[in-house]
Structure 1
C-alpha cells in the first residue's frame, strides 16, 4: 500500500502518538504562540488524520500573554494508561512543565498539574510495575542531557530525586526524550543536533530504566548527509506498535521550497520501523528511504488522492476547531451573526500583527502547499481612519504579507503590504468603491501574488512579493524560528479599537485556478 508524506501537512511539529485499542490512534503536536494549544488528531489507519480538537483551550490552562513568537508550548508527549489520556508538555514562558488529563481526547482536558524538574520536552512512561517515570531534557546546547524521576500521576508529586541518565551522542541539544519498555529492555529515544540540517534521532537501551544506556552506533533517523534530498531536518520522533506487531515512527521534517526555503514549518511524517538483527529500531539513517511517496505492505489504507485544501462558509455557529489564534481568542472579537447569516464578524482592536506580544483579531490555518490560491470575500466599510481588515500570510511579527482594506483620510483603499525583517512597506494601493471585495493570494514556488476582484469584474493583480522573505532561513534560521507560515483573516484599528466590524462571507484554500484576469 502506498501513502504520501507528510501525513499531516503544514506547521504541526513534534508529533507524539499513542494507540488505544485495535484501530484507534491519537496524536498531539506543538503549537508555540498559537491558541488553543496542542492540536489533537485521530486516525484508524496511521495515514489519514483528522483534527478532533485541542488539549489546551482555556486561559486557566494556557496563558500566552507573555509568549513571543516561537515561544509558548513546546513538544507535547501523549500517553494513555488505564482509561486516561495524559498530555505532558512545556509552557516555556509560563508555568514550565505540566500535564493535563482527559477521559476523551476530544476534551475536556483537566487543569494543569505542574511537575517540578527539567527544562523542556518531558515524557511519561507508565511501567509494568506501576511506576511512572518523567523523562525530560535538561541543560542547554552541548551540555544538554536527559534526567529522570518518578511521580504520582494523580497529583504530580515527585517521588524520587531526578537522576541524570543520558548525555546523548556528543552533539548539541540532546532533547525530546521518550522512554519505552519493549522486549524486556528500556529504549531511550532522543533528538540531537538542533532542529536544522543536522537534526537526527538517536536511541540507546538498557535493562534498567535508569541505565546505564548503550548508545546505538548510528542515528536511527536522519538526512544530515543528504543535502539534496527534498525532505530535510528529520528527527524528534515517537514510535508506536500497531495491533499486529508492526512498529511505526512519527517524526518532524521539512520540505524546503526551491530546495532551500522552509515555508510550511516542520511537518509530521510517518515511516515504518525495521528491527535490526541486534535489536535496534531503524528508520532511515541517510539511506533516503523517507520520501514523499512511501510504500508498505503493512498498511490497510492510503491517503493518496485525499482532497486537499480548506473551505468554510461560516454557517456553523461555532468557530471551526482547525483555526488558530494569536496568543488568545477574545471571544467577543469573533462572531457568527444571525443578522448576517453565514458571515464571520471580526472586531479589530488596537493590536496589530507587528506587535511582539499582540493579541489582534486574527484567525489562521497552516499553509500546507505551494501552487495554491487563498481567497475570501470581505465587506468592510471603516468609519475611522487607520481601521483595516483583510487577508494575511504570517510567519511572525517581523515577516508577514497583508492584503487589506484600510481607511486613509476618509477614503477606502486596498493595500498590498509586505513586512520583512520588521520593516513594513506598502507595495501598491488603489482606491475602491465596491462594498464587497474578493481578495486572494496566489502562491507558487517563487512569489506570493496579491489579487482582488470587485463585483462582476476581472481579477486584478495588485502586487507580488518573493516567497523566500517568509521563510525560516531569512528570519532567524531553524534555531530561532520554530513555526511555519499561517494563512487567514485579520482586523485591527492600528492603536485603537475599531468602530466598524469586518465581515467575511467565506474563506478558501485550493489548488491554483486558471482564470481571466489583468495586471
Structure 2
C-alpha cells in the first residue's frame, strides 16, 4: 500500500536542516520496546516525518514562548534529542528532495529563516498539514470543523495523482481522532474513528489525540499523538497501529554557568516582564503559566525582601493580565552579599496533588519553606503546561540586575 497523508495540526518559509548538524550514528534505527510517555515534556501540536537521512524529525509548537518552536530528532521514534528551533505557531514541516530544503507552513513568522512567500487570501493555516507527493506536488490541508485542501505552485511558494490513498487526521477536541481516506487529494473522503476516548498511559491524563502516523525502518507503523496531562502540559506518547483490509489503520492501546538578567521592562504586569527565562517541566518541576506562583526578591530602595506571591493571572483567551498576584508571606533575612538559593517543589502529575511549595536557603544546603502551598491550575485553554521561570523587572525605572549562578532540576 502506498500512503499519502497529512495532518491537521500561513506563511511559507524554507531552510536547510539537513546540513545544519551531523548525523549521530549512535542512534538506533529500530524500535524493540518502549514505555510511555516517550518524552516526559510539554511538546504540543506535534508533526513527525522521516528525512532522506533515515532519521525522524519532530516539530512541535512553543506557542508564544521563545526560542520559538522546538525541533527534535530520533533514530528510532522513541529516543529524541532537541536539535534546534524554527518559528512560532502550530505548523507543519516537511523535507523536499528536489530542492533539498525543509518547508514550514504556519501563521507567525520569526527567527533566522528565509521568508519565501506569503500565501494569498488572508487564510491562517493554523494546525495544518503539508504533503509532498511522489510527483513533487505540494498540498496543504487546513481547517477544523470545515477542512480544506490547497495545492501549492510548482516552486512551492504560492497557492496554486499518482496512486495510493491520501489520509487526513482530524480531532474532536479532547477525545476522538478521525481519519479520512480518499484516492485523490481533492476527495471525496470517507472517514473512520481512529481513537475514541482511549485511556491515557498517564494517570488522569486525557485521551491521546492530535498526532500523526509514522513508519519505522522495520516497516511497522505507529501513531504519535500527545496526551493532555495538566498541569504538566501536552506529553507525547506512542502506539503501534495496523492496517486493515479496508485501507484504514486501527489503533492499539497502549545547570552550569551563569546568566545575568538586567531589567528590560518598567511594568507592574508580571507577564509583561521581558527577559523572563522559562524551562519545560521534567517530570515534576515548574511554576510559570497563565496562573502562576513564585518566590523572589522584592527590592524597594535599599530594602530587600524575600516574598512568595500567589496567583499572578492572565485571562485565558486574550492573555491580558487580570491580577499581579497576592503576596502571601515575606522574609527579610538576606545575607549582605545578596546571595540566595530559591527552590520550587511541585507535583505536576495529572494524577498528583498539583501542589507547589517554595523555599529558600542562605547556604544552599538547608532550605526553609516560605508561605502556604499553592495549587496549580489545570485548565487547558492556555494550552501550555507549567514551567520554571526566572525573571527580573523594574516597577519604577530601569537599572540593576540579578545573576542566576545555576539552575538544577531534580
CA contact (8 A) 2:141 2:148 kept: yes
Aligned to 1:162: none
Aligned to 1:51: 82
Aligned to 2:388: 487
Q: Does 1:90 align with 2:107?
A: yes
Counterpart of 2:288 (choices 394, 405, 410) is 394
1:229, distance to aligned residue in structure 2 (A): 5.8
- Give the Cα separation in 2 of the matches to 1:34 and 1:505: 23
Counterpart of 2:300 (choices 408, 413, 417) is 408
- Give the Cα separation in 2 of the matches to 1:272 and 1:233: 16
Aligned to 2:223: 249
CA contact (8 A) 2:261 2:401 kept: yes
CA contact (8 A) 2:292 2:311 kept: yes
- Give the Cα separation in 2 of the matches to 1:201 and 1:428: 46
- Counting matched residue pairs gives 359
Distance change (3 Å), C-alpha of 1:127 and 1:229: same
CA contact (8 A) 1:11 1:367 kept: yes
Aligned to 1:273: 241
CA contact (8 A) 1:240 1:248 kept: yes
Structure 2, unpaired ranges of 5+: 1-31, 314-321
Give the secondary-structure state (helix, strand or coil) at the position aligned to 1:491.
coil
Q: Does 1:203 align with 2:209?
A: no
1:6, distance to aligned residue in structure 2 (A): 2.2
Aligned to 2:332: 431
1:432, distance to aligned residue in structure 2 (A): 2.6
Q: How does 1:175-190 map to 2 (within 5 A)?
A: 184-190=164-170
- Give the Cα separation in 1 of the matches to 2:199 and 2:260: 50
1:266, distance to aligned residue in structure 2 (A): 1.3
Q: Does 1:110 align with 2:114?
A: yes
Q: How does 1:328-477 map to 2 (within 5 A)?
A: 343-351=258-266, 354=269, 358-370=272-284, 393-396=287-290, 399-408=291-300, 410-419=302-311, 421=313, 422-423=322-323, 424-434=325-335, 435-444=338-347, 445-446=352-353, 447-455=355-363, 458-467=366-375, 470-473=376-379
String of CA shifts for 1:94-133, please: whole Å, max 9, x gaps: x7xxxx9xxxxxx963225322354422221111233211
Aligned to 1:235: 209
- Give the Cα separation in 2 of the matches to 1:400 and 1:409: 26
Q: How does 1:315-326 map to 2 (within 5 A)?
A: none
Distance change (3 Å), C-alpha of 1:182 and 1:248: farther
String of CA shifts for 1:456-489, please: whole Å, max 9, x gaps: 772111123333xx3232xxxx3x3211111131
Q: Does 1:78 align with 2:21?
A: no
Aligned to 1:264: 232
TM-score by length of 1: 0.64
String of CA shifts for 1:374-426, please: whole Å, max 9, x gaps: 7xxxxxxxxxxxxxxxxxx2112xx1111111113531111111125444111
1:47, distance to aligned residue in structure 2 (A): 0.8
Aligned to 2:20: none
Distance change (3 Å), C-alpha of 1:355 and 1:228: closer
1:158, distance to aligned residue in structure 2 (A): 1.9
Aligned to 2:146: 145
TM-score by length of 2: 0.80
Structure 1, unpaired ranges of 5+: 57-72, 101-106, 139-143, 160-180, 256-261, 291-311, 315-342, 375-392, 511-519
CA contact (8 A) 2:261 2:392 kept: yes
